[in-house]
């Protein structure tokens, strides 16, 4: 049997499965997890459960830790920076008359990667 929790990164986004790595988690807890984009802040939306090993189709990435107050502050600061980055990118799109529609911008939790969604 494998332990598993469901984590969501956006308010109405997809739910991803993670290994709780022995950390006691409840629905509503914020957690730091490692993803392909680096460390991300997510919210536990599906409580700890167990599934049969055969039901897990790929290796689950572990939860790094429960989010600390510093993580929450960092996420808020980066959210403010995202608005500035979005405005700057929109200016460049207009300046170069690029045929694209800018939807949003997101930093990862440590601020090392900025992703624009078109």
* pLDDT tens track for 76-86: 999 999 999 99
pTM to 2 decimal places: 0.85
pLDDT confidence of residue 52 = 63
**Residue whose C-alpha is closest to residue 9's, from 115, 89, 118, 85:** 115
Query: b vs e for 75-103, b when ≥16 Cβ sit within 10 Å of the residue's Cβ?
Result: beebeeebeebbeebeeebeeeeeeeebe
Confidence bin at 2 (pLDDT 50/70/90): confident
Q: In this predicted structure, what is the pLDDT of residue 1?
A: 67
pLDDT for res 59: 85
> 111, 78 in Cβ contact below 8 A?
yes
Give residue-wise pLDDT tens across range 19-68.
Answer: 999 999 999 999 999 998 899 999 999 988 866 666 777 889 999 999 99
Per-domain boundaries in the chain? 2-67, 72-111
Give residue 51's pLDDT: 65
Binning pLDDT at 50, 70 and 90, where does residue 11 land? confident
The answer to whether 55 and 96 have CB atoms below 8 angstroms apart is no
């Amino acid at each position: 049997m494998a332990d598993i929790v469901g984590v969501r990164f956006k308010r109405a986004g997809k739910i991803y499965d993670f290994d709780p790595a022995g950390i006691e988690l409840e629905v509503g807890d914020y957690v730091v997890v490692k993803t392909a984009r680096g460390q991300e802040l997510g919210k536990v939306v599906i409580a700890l459960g167990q599934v049969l090993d055969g039901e897990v189709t790929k290796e689950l990435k572990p939860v790094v830790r429960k989010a600390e107050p510093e993580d929450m502050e960092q996420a808020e600061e980066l959210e403010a920076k995202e608005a500035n980055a979005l405005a700057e990118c929109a200016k460049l799109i207009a300046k170069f008359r690029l045929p694209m529609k800018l939807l949003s911008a997101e930093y990862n939790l440590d601020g090392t990667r900025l992703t624009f969604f078109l």
